[in-house]
Structure 1
Amino acid sequence: MRQIWRIYTTDWKNIFKIPIVIILLAALTVLPSAYAWVNIKAMWDPYGNTSGIKVAVVNEDKGAEVQGKKINVGNEIVQNLRKNKKLGWVFVDRSTAVNGVKKGGYYAYLIIPQDFSKKLSSILEINPSKPQILFGVNEKINAVAPKIASSGATNVMNQISQAFVKTVGDALFSGFYKAGIELEKELPSIQHMEKEIFTLEKALPQIDAMGKKAIELEAQLPEIKEKAQKVIELEQRIPEIKQAGNSILKVEANLTLINEAGEKVLALQKKLSDMNRINQLVTQVEDSLSEMETNITQSIDRSAQAASNGVTNGNQEQLTQLHDELLSIHNQIQQTRVDLQQKVSEGEKIVNSSSDFIKNDLPVIEGKIHKAADFVRNDLPALEKDLHKAAGLVRTRLPELEKVVHKAADIARNDLPSFEAQIRSTADKLRRLKGSINITDLIQFLKHNPQAESNFLASPILLNTKRIFPIPNYGSAMTPFYTMLALWVGATFLIASLRVDVDESEQAYKSYQVYFGRLLTFLTIGIFQAAIVSLGDLFILHTYAVDKVWFVLLSIFIGMVFVIITFTLRSVFGTLGKGLAIILLVLQISSSGATFPVSTTSAFFQMIYPFMPFTYAVSMLRETVGGMVVDVVRRDVLFLLIFIAASFLLALILKKPLSKQIQKTSELARASKIIQ
């Protein structure tokens, strides 16, 4: 340990003997700080000065007309961009924009085509067409500027989309609001209609029965038409009816005569006995004639007998003639009696029948005649009018009735089944709708504030950002990386500018004594480098750090780790060690996740990520800047201590075996008069 301390003190004595060396060491101490401070300041707010990134804007939009209102979204975009200072918007024509981007005058261009508003308003059409904004970017000018320009273009698109969604949403929800008001007004009518539909559903069997009756009535139309024709025929016979009515009136007027005739018939009936007595008298006369005929016949017989006896009687011929005449008269009287008896019988029947009619039927008939006469006088004129009216209806309305009946029957056959199905389906849907949707709740939903709803639709999600470890600016966020990078660069400058071996002309030293003795000198300078860088970050650049003391202390610790690693490489591998330190620097910039997340790098860098000291150094410094999590700091310190242990182990194992070979290599390199 004494020898190690001796090497260390001797180094500083030699340093202070030569002022130029002091100046060199001072430069080596401060130079890494300048590297860090320049880069941190340059990156302090890189996205705060993007207005210098010029983007050409071309507006060719000719506008459109929506429901009689002219719109031009392109002009609105230009007006908004004139107020937007995030990028350097330049408003030119198409050829200027395209040529400017090609030649590097602009980083990008935005071209709003002629049909932009027209396509944007096509949302109201059946087949809407999405509008396009042409975006061109020149990526060879700068690696970052095109990304910023693209981000600006994306922001413009988002603003357009958000404004469009808000406008459409405002119109949509305003329509909903109006619909809700109208629906609320029409709610009684809707409920009434709903009730009527259910009532109609219940009445469907009756409607179906009516449809069947319409079909039956259609089948009876020929019969109805035939009967209706009889009404017309009856109308044509009105004169005959009137004549018959007049006849009835005449009959009524002659009822007195009929009654008188009836009385005579009754009187005649009473005289029928006298007529029978006449018949009896005729019979008596006929009997007398028969007696006379008998007497004459006897007289003739006696005359004939006398003649046969020789007695001559001149009266026989007269008797015979008289007998014949009496016989002829008798026959005539007999025939007359028979005829008279027949006539009397017939007359008696007629008289008796007439008498019965007069006694029994005539009063009834007389009443009917009076009633018929009253009808003729009082009701027949009105009946005639009704008959004329009915006939007119038959002529004019019956054809229409036929059409209506045919149409009703046709509906019953063809349309009624589908109508019934629709009514039942509608009723079922209403029942399901009532079960699933409360119309009052629907009205309340439709009556929501249109402005609030459209604002919600335009921005449905609010990002509530909670900055767990807030860092106010980009420069402070990058301070851990550039501070760590400056410390590695400072350590590399040391091994490139200072010797790692000791002149052994006075006393021989062991290899580990040389290693640790000279390492102390390098560590002293490295501590000053880290202190200057960290303190300058805090008090010259005023970078943000939650734990300033720990930021300085851990920066010094990291500086010591980097000095040990680089010094070990240079001490063990000689000139080759300087190259190894630079290679490690390059590898660690990409694999440490200090600039971009390591997950965005290639598989190789993700593989070596856990084995690089930068990984833990930058993580540890970030803890002091944003807010320390003790477990993370402990882990990072532990891994950096492992790197220190590995460096010491490497030096103790390889320095002595490789020292002679490294010395020969260094001498050969110096012999080239190019390499130190």
Structure 2
Amino acid sequence: MDMEKRSRTLFVEEWKSIFRKRMTLISIAAVCVIPLLYSGTFLWAFWNPYGQVNELPVAVVNRDTGAEMDGKKLTIGEDFQEELKNSDTFKWAFVTKEQAEQGLRDKQYYMAIEIPEDFSLRASKVMEAHPDPAVLTYIPNEGLNYMTSRIGSSAVDKIKAELSQELTEAYVTSLFENIQTVSDGLGEAAEGAGKLADGSGKLQDGIEQFQNKLGELYNGTGPLGDGILKLIQGTEKLGSGTKKLYAGSGQLNEGIVKLQGGHQELTDGVRSLQTGTDTLKQGLAQSKAGAEQLKAGAEGLQGLLGLIAEANPELAATQEYAQALQIAQQVSGGAAGLAEGQQQLAAGADQLAAGEAKILAGMETFGSKLEEAGKAAAKVEAGAQAVEQGTKDLKTGLGVLKTGVGKVADGAKQLHEGTLKLANGSRSVTDGSSELFQKLTDAAAETSSIHPDAATYRMFASPVIIDEEKEGAVPNYGTGMAPYFISMSLFVGAMMLTIVFDVRKPAVRPRRAINWFGSKLATMLLVGLLQALLLDGVMLGVLQLEVKSVPYFIGFSILLSWTYMAIVQMLVTLFGDAGRFLAILLLIVQLTTSGGTFPVEMIPSGLQQLHTWTPMAYAVDGFRAIISTGQYDFLQGDAGVLAGVFAASAFITLAYYVYRMRRRGGGQKILNVEVAS
């Protein structure tokens, strides 16, 4: 009880000392509102900055010249400008390109949006082979304000999405307008597919027949090759015969030439014989006349001898007369025979002349025929030579033909194999064309049943909508940043207190270290309580901060304020002014590693390692649980860590006071030393 009384006494004396010094009292009062001023003013100023973006001046430059699409005028730039005039997203200023550029330089506009002159033209060429996307130029003035450029970037993304949706609706409208044409085309295609199925069936039958004929062709190439081989052998014999024919024709030609020479000689001889026959006939005529004269003379002589005998019988009885009469009779008989022979000879000469004439005529005919035979023999020789050459060519051609027949056989075999595949493919075509016919018929029926409207176009343009279900909803920017700024401002308030309140020097002489420590800590905790309550009051009452639990919010604020007070008391008590510097360093580390602005995962990996070692990290997490998420299980852990830090800091500070008491040898010395210092 005595120790508690001493502690209360020291605590009362501390406050009496404060009240006796007006400037100290004013300073402490000012320190009590430091967290309120620090975080309250900031959060009030930026409680809902996105609700004021309609005051941001933004330049809009429309240079779009329009285009035509499916026979309709397309003026996306003009339509977009009209929509912006009815929008309060920003404070729009519709200017020329030069005015926009000058306004950005003069800091008149935070950003500019330019619609190029070919915007509609590019949008109209969506169905071309290589269409270029329409370009919307966004020019942020980041040097003027970076956050504004980020806000503008988000707004431009939204504008882009809206423009894309409108363009898609235009494309879909055009597409559906052509669906009926497509439906008609599908019907015609279905009819064509039916014909294709019929034709492919006939093709398959033809392929099978062709395949059978190819088999016959392949089977026939064997006997054909054998026949060609025999034909080649026959041509060899024919070649041998044609050689002999050519040689014989040459001999025949030579013989005909010789025969022509002999015929000429024979003709000349016949003509000579004819001449001799004429001479013979003349001689025979003369001889016949002489023979007649001789016969007449012999008959006259015989008559004369008769007369002589009559006249001279004695002479007639003589041997000489008898011989003469016999000779006369013989001469007369010879003359008669000569005359008869001459007559026969003359007849033979006539026959010889007639035969010679016939022979001469035959020789002339034979000569002409022999001449024709000579010409024919020359032709025969030339023909035999041509036949011989033709036989050689025939033999060569038959060799080529035999090789070709082999290739034909191989080709027929390959073609046969190919027709097998073709037959299989034809079956697939038949089946596929039948299926295609059915599918096209179904597609034509389905497309003809489509009746789109404006809702259909919107569905195609924007088939997905976002159904946002927030976990731990944060209504505005100030609410989202409150955990960070409340935590930071309470730490700043704790540091500021050590400037106007001496955490070492006691108001009166302490007898025990714990009394000394208790009076100082209690004073700081009271100020921390006031800081937390003032801050919470303004947050809840003035700024209308919405929290899941007001008691938890107030209690956690007090716990955090006391924890910071214990930390700062420990640093300044142990190290004096250097302790305040260490407190500033700790604040800097906490500001970067607490995750109050950006997620911890987005800061450098080296700083991420410090996250779990900073009290502000647990403070921010705890306030988020109370304000937004309602995850009190995490809150309990955060509060436990802060309570542990508070206890550890207080214990270290108490240890320091115990050490100082023992080292100085009593409270009076402590008081004297502190006063002296």
Which of the five TM-score ranges fits, normalised by the shorter chain? 0.5 to 0.7
How far did 1:655 drift? 5.6
Q: Is the aligned partner of 1:601 residue 2:603? A: yes
SS at match of 2:142: coil
2:74 is the alignment partner of 1:74: no
Distance 1:507 1:635 in 2: 40
Helix, strand or coil at the partner of 1:89: strand
**Which position in structure 1 is the counterpart of 2:167?**
164
Task: Determine if contact 2:28/2:500 at 8 Å carries over to the other structure.
Answer: no
Q: For 1:260-409, list aligned pairs within 5 A.
A: none
1:168: Cα distance to partner? 1.6
Aligned partners of 2:450, 2:586: CA distance in 1, in Å? 64
**Residue equivalent to 1:587:** 589
Which amino acid in structure 1 is aligned with residue 108 of structure 2? G
Q: Within 5 Å, which residues of 2 pair with 1:38-57?
A: 38-57=41-60
- Name the SS of the counterpart of 2:610 in structure 1: helix
Q: Which amino acid aligns with 2:159?
A: V
Task: Provide the rounded CA distance (Å) in 2 between the counterparts of 1:181 and 1:562.
Answer: 80
Residue equivalent to 2:91:
88
Specify the SS of the correspondent of 2:609: helix
**RMSD, matched Cα:** 3.7
Over residues 132-158 of structure 1, what are the superposed CA-to-partner deviations in whole Å (9 max), with x where a residue is unaligned? 222222211112111112222222222
Aligned to 1:23: 26
Superposed counterparts of 1:383-532, under 5 Å: 426-430=429-433, 433=436, 440=442, 443-444=445-446, 447-448=449-450, 450-451=452-453, 452-503=455-506, 507-532=509-534
1:546 CA displacement: 1.8
Paired position in structure 1 for 2:316: none
Structure 1 pair 639/177, CA: closer, same or farther in 2 (3 Å)? farther
Do the aligned residues in 2 keep the contact of 1:204 with 1:420 (CA within 8 Å)? no
Question: Is 2:8 the partner of 1:5?
Answer: yes
Residue pair 2:483, 2:620 contacting (<8 A) in 1 also: yes
C-alpha separation between the residues in 2 aligned to 1:443 and 1:653? 91
Question: Are the counterparts in 2 of residues 166 and 458 from structure 1 also a CA contact under 8 Å?
Answer: yes
SS in 2 for 1:135: strand
In the other structure, the counterpart of 1:362 is none
**Cα distance between partner residues in 1 of 2:440 and 2:194:** 16
Which position in structure 2 is the counterpart of 1:578? 580
Instruction: Give the distance between the partners of 1:14 and 1:206, measured in 2 at CA.
Output: 120
Q: Equivalent residue for 2:612?
A: 610
Partner residue of 1:65? 68
Structure 1 position 426, deviation (Å) = 3.7
CA deviation after TM superposition for structure 1 residue 20, in Å: 4.8
TM-score (structure 2 length as normaliser): 0.61
Q: Aligned-pair distance for 1:476? A: 2.3
Q: What is the alpha-carbon distance in structure 1 between the residues aligned to residue 175 and residue 13 of structure 2?
A: 87
Alpha-carbon distance in 1 for matches of 2:559, 2:180? 67
Question: What does residue 566 of structure 1 align with?
Answer: 568
- Post-superposition CA distance 1:227-271 (Å, at most 9, x none): xxxxxxxxxxxxxxxxxxxxxxxxxxxxxxxxxxxxxxxxxxxxx
Separation (CA, whole Å) in 1 of partners of 2:20 and 2:467: 63
Question: Take 1:561 and 1:17, find their aligned partners in 2: how far apart are those partners?
Answer: 28
Return closer, same or farther for 1:177/1:460 CA change in 2, 3 Å cut-off: farther
- Equivalent residue letter for 1:538: L
Question: For residue 241 of structure 1, what is the aligned residue in structure 2?
Answer: none
The partner residue of 1:646 within 612, 625, 648 is: 648
Tell me how far 1:22 sits from its aligned partner.
3.6
Cα distance in 2 for residues equivalent to 1:421 and 1:72? 56
Q: Distance in 2 between matches of 1:600 and 1:655?
A: 42
What residue in structure 1 maps to residue 390 of structure 2?
none
Identity of aligned residues (%): 26
Alignment partners' CA distance in 1, 2:77 and 2:422: 53
Q: 1:625 to 1:449 in 2, by over 3 A?
A: farther
Structure 2 counterpart SS, 1:56? strand
8 Å CA contact 1:515, 1:571 repeated in 2: no
Cα deviations by residue, 1:437-494 (Å, 9 ceiling, x for unpaired): 6963784477455445543332232222112222322222222222222211211111
Relative distance call for 1:108 and 1:562 in structure 2 (3 A) is same
Deviation of the 1:36 alpha carbon: 2.2
Which structure 2 segments of 5+ residues have no match?
215-418, 665-671
Aligned to 1:383: none
User: CA separation of 1:439/1:528 partners in 2, compared to 1, >3 Å: closer, same or farther?
Assistant: farther
Distance 1:658 1:119, change over 3 A: farther
1:164-243 matches, within 5 Å, as 164-176=167-179, 179-180=182-183, 183=186, 189=191, 193=195, 196-197=198-199, 199-201=201-203, 203-204=205-206
Distance 1:546 1:503, change over 3 A: closer
Counterpart code for 1:74:
G
State how far apart, in whole Å, the 1-side matches of 2:448 and 2:620 are.
56
Q: Which residue of 2 aligns with 1:631?
A: 633
Q: Which residue of 2 aligns with 1:114?
A: 117
- The CA distance in 1 between the partners of 2:629 and 2:605, in whole Å, is 30
Distance 2:207 2:157 in 1: 66
Q: Secondary structure in 1 aligned to 2:40?
A: helix
Distance in 2 of aligned mates of 1:442 and 1:592: 64
Contact 2:571 2:583 in 1 (8 A): yes
How far apart, in 1, do the equivalents of 2:510 and 2:631 lie?
48
Q: Mark the CA change 1:133 to 1:188 in structure 2 (over 3 Å): closer, same or farther.
A: closer
CA-CA distance at 1:419 after TM superposition: 11
Q: Deviations over 1:268-302 (max 9, x none)?
A: xxxxxxxxxxxxxxxxxxxxxxxxxxxxxxxxxxx
Task: Establish whether residue 103 from structure 1 lines up as the match of residue 97 from structure 2.
Answer: no
Q: Residue 446 and residue 150 in structure 1: after superposition, are their counterparts in 2 closer, same or farther (change >3 A)?
A: farther
Give, in whole Å, the separation in 1 of the partners of 2:469 and 2:441: 41
Q: 2:554 aligned to 552, 573, 577, which one?
A: 552
Q: 1:128 is matched with which residue?
A: 131
Residue 510 of structure 1, CA deviation: 4.7
Change (3 A) 1:178 1:434: closer
Question: What is the SS of the residue equivalent to 2:50?
Answer: coil
Secondary structure of the residue aligned to 1:124 is coil
Query: How far apart are the structure 1 equivalents of 2:122 and 2:468?
Result: 36
Once the two structures are superposed, residues 568-613 of structure 1 have per-residue CA deviations (whole angstroms, 9 ceiling, x without a partner) of 1111111112222222222222211112222222223322111111
Provide the residue aligned with 2:362 in structure 1.
none
Measured after TM superposition, the shift of residue 520 of structure 1 is: 0.8
Q: Secondary structure in 2 aligned to 1:634?
A: helix
Determine if contact 2:207/2:423 at 8 Å carries over to the other structure: no
In the alignment, what sits opposite 1:350? none
Q: Secondary structure at the match of 1:123?
A: coil
User: In structure 2, how many angstroms separate the alpha carbons of the residues matched to 1:8 and 1:446?
Assistant: 92
Deviates more, 1:456-465 or 1:626-635: 456-465
Is the Cα–Cα contact under 8 Å of residues 51 and 85 in structure 1 kept in the other structure?
yes
Instruction: Give the partner amino acid of 1:541.
Output: L
**Shift in alpha-carbon separation, 1:493–1:190, aligned structure 2, 3 A:** same
SS at match of 1:144: helix
Closer/same/farther in 2, CA of residues 424 and 617 from structure 1, 3 Å limit: same
